Amino acid sequence: MVDILDAFGAASGPERLELVRIGATATMVQFFTRDGDRGRFHWEEDPTVSSYVLCPGIPCPLCFVHEAPTDAHLLPVLAVERKAVGVLMVSLARGPASLGAQLIPHLRDEGIQDKLFLLSRERAKYSVEVHPLGERADRCLGTIKAFTTARDAGLSLLTAFPNLSAQELADVPRVRAKLDALGGWTPPGA
């Protein structure tokens, strides 16, 4: 048998991914794999960034001004509304209200692809609601296959984050203000 999508080149997947943002309004996602990436991140609230950014490691300007990074597991999920694969960030911080603690029992479930997840958050308190996937739900199998092909070819889940070097992070206005106030940060290679 031959998959018609292969013949039409639909298997060329995305070059970069988007972060799935979780807020007060529930975000619908479907899980299809447990194969993810790991990273260490800072939340950068400066309006020019307004995103999690990858900690560039020493000499990270954000670590230097005492902003603690968060270790997180990244998992590809199907973002139902966009019908696209996005990246879900699951902090490795534990606790009953954490996203990870609530997802783990479901991620062990062999029938997870038949379930719909509604994820929401009030501050650091996550809610996970699980429903059987509706009969008419679009499982977006072509989209998932294209993602898997791109992933096998080396697509990183880190493409969902701005790729800023230590120097570029130091030049973000909010960070620059803190670095200048504290003094003593040495840019890489200086």
Considering only residues 119 to 148 of the shown chain, the ones binding Zn ion according to CB under 5 A are none
Please say which residue, 146 or 179, places its beta carbon nearer to Zn ion: 179
Cα–Cα distance, 9 to 86 (Å, whole number)? 21
CB nearer Zn ion, residue 42 or residue 151: 42
- Residue 125, classed as helix, strand or coil, is strand
CB of 82 to Zn ion, least distance (A): 30
* Alpha-carbon dihedral sign for residues 48, 54, 56, 61: positive
Q: Least distance to Zn ion from the beta carbon of 51, Å?
A: 14
User: In the window 46-65, what residues touch Zn ion (CB under 5 A)?
Assistant: 55, 60, 62-63
Q: In the complex with Zn ion, which residue's Cβ is closer, 57 or 105?
A: 57
What is the DSSP code string of 54-114? E---SS-HHHHTT---EEEEEEEEEETTTTEEEEEEEES--STTSHHHHHHHHHT-TTGGG
> Which residue number, 13 or 69, has a Cβ lying nearer to Zn ion?
69
* Distance, CA of 80 to CA of 27 (rounded, Å): 8
Nearest approach, Cβ of 32 to Zn ion (angstroms)?
A: 31
Residue nearer to Zn ion on the CB measure, 62 or 75 = 62
State in angstroms the smallest separation of the CB of 93 from Zn ion.
16
Distance CA(26)–CA(55), nearest Å, equals 28
What Rg, from alpha-carbon coordinates, does the chain have?
A: 19
CB of 75 to Zn ion, least distance (A): 22
Q: How many residues bind Zn ion (CB under 5 A)?
A: 5
Query: Looking up tokens 């783990």, which residue turns up?
Result: 104
Q: Which residues bind Zn ion (CB under 5 A)?
A: 55, 60, 62-63, 69
